Amino acid sequence: MSDDNTRDIEQTIVTDFSERMSYGRYLALDEVLNAQHPLSRPEHHDEMLFIIQHQTTELWLKLVLHEITAARRSMAADDLRTALKRIARVKHIQEVMIQQWSVLATLTPTEYAQFRGSLGNSSGFQSAQYRAVEFALGNKNERMLTVFADDPAALAHLTAEWEQPTLYDEFLRLIARRGLPVPEAILTRDVREPYRASEDLVPVFRTIYENAERYWDLYEACEELVDIEDNFQLWRFRHLRTVGRTIGTKTGTGGSSGVGFLERALSLTFFPELYRVRTEIGQG
């Protein structure tokens, strides 16, 4: 043990990166760590927190989309085991995103007011990745595309997501291929439209839930999707509460009504029949 409270570098540890891949280069840390550009003048100490919080969220959203896209592809290939692995990872990412709000909640109203003007009209409402996640899960809204008219790359990405089947669409198609009577109107619906609940689908899920041993993987998938929706709603709620404690009922920077607008989002649902079936289970 060293007497000066230091740890010796083992001789086998690589220290010459003149011709080797380094940690920083692999992760492009020069770009990542130099992507924070506070605009307040004089620079306000807490603007760095605000920027990093939102940049980090965007990175997690990128990974959520990556996993949902893979899960959807696996479902389309009848590989439900792999899809469930991807969905499980999404759930863990969501938990991190939910907890992240506690960091931003350390920003007081007085502190935020001192640099809020630097945001101009920028707002999380304009997050293309967040909209793509909503689209991928079923909350599609063609009017949202207009928000990205001045960003061709984001518009192309979001338009492609709008035109694709949702994760739920692929799950319902998989269920139908397993021989369960999913209504034809659902299987042939226009996937660009927001998903709308169908009472005719509820008995299908009741069959799965009341015969769990026979349909175990489908039963598990139903609960995994409910977990995703619950986590998404918790994230929305923490967003709402953080905004409320920071700006009260002020109008949002992007022009929304702020807290009121976020409250209405709590009524949106991705997988309505997976909640409706709970009323039916155990009934005569």
In this predicted model, what pLDDT tens digit does every residue of 117-139 receive, in sequence order?
Answer: 999 999 999 999 999 999 999 99
Pair 115, 51: CB distance under 8 Å = no
> Distance (Å, rounded) from C-alpha 125 to C-alpha 134?
12
- Structural domain span for residue 203: 44-110+128-244+273-278
253 is in an annotated binding site: yes
Q: What is the mean pLDDT of residues 230-235?
A: 96
Residue 88 has pLDDT above 90, yes or no: yes
Inside any domain, residue 62: yes
How many folded domains does the chain comprise?
A: 1
Residue 74 has pLDDT above 70, yes or no: yes
Q: Work out the percent of the chain whose per-residue pLDDT is above 90.
A: 88
Q: What is the pLDDT of residues 151-200, one digit of tens each?
A: 999 999 999 999 999 999 999 999 999 999 999 999 999 999 999 999 99
Q: What is the mean pLDDT of residues 46-51?
A: 98
Max intra-chain CA distance, the chain: 76
Inside any domain, residue 36: no
Short-list 167, 173, 157, CA closest to 69: 167
239 is in an annotated binding site: yes
52 is in an annotated binding site: yes
7 is in an annotated binding site: no
Q: Which amino acid belongs to residue 257? A: S
Inside any domain, residue 147: yes
> Exposed, middle or buried: residue 49 (CB in 10 Å: 0-12, 13-18, 19+)?
middle
> Exposed, middle or buried: residue 145 (CB in 10 Å: 0-12, 13-18, 19+)?
middle
Pair 45, 139: CB distance under 8 Å = no
At residue 6 the predicted structure's pLDDT band, cuts being 50, 70 and 90, is: confident
End-to-end CA distance of the chain: 72
Residue 7 has pLDDT above 60, yes or no: yes
Instruction: Report the CATH number at residue 140.
Output: 1.20.58.480
112 is in an annotated binding site: yes
Inside any domain, residue 53: yes
Inside any domain, residue 22: no
Lowest-confidence range among 195-209, 211-225, 240-254? Answer: 240-254
- Other residues' Cβ atoms within 10 Å of the Cβ of residue 228: 21
Give start and end residues of each alpha helix (H) in 20-177: 23-26, 29-32, 47-76, 80-104, 109-113, 128-137, 152-163, 167-177
At residue 2 the predicted structure's pLDDT band, cuts being 50, 70 and 90, is: low
Inside any domain, residue 152: yes
DSSP string, 210-235: HTTTTTHHHHHHHHHHHHHHHHHHHH
Inside any domain, residue 257: no
Q: What is the pLDDT of residue 3?
A: 64
51 is in an annotated binding site: yes
Predicted TM-score (pTM) of this structure = 0.94
Residue 93 has pLDDT above 70, yes or no: yes
**Averaged confidence pLDDT in the chain:** 95
Inside any domain, residue 63: yes
At residue 9 the predicted structure's pLDDT band, cuts being 50, 70 and 90, is: confident
Q: What is the mean pLDDT of residues 247-252?
A: 91
Residue 255 has pLDDT above 80, yes or no: yes
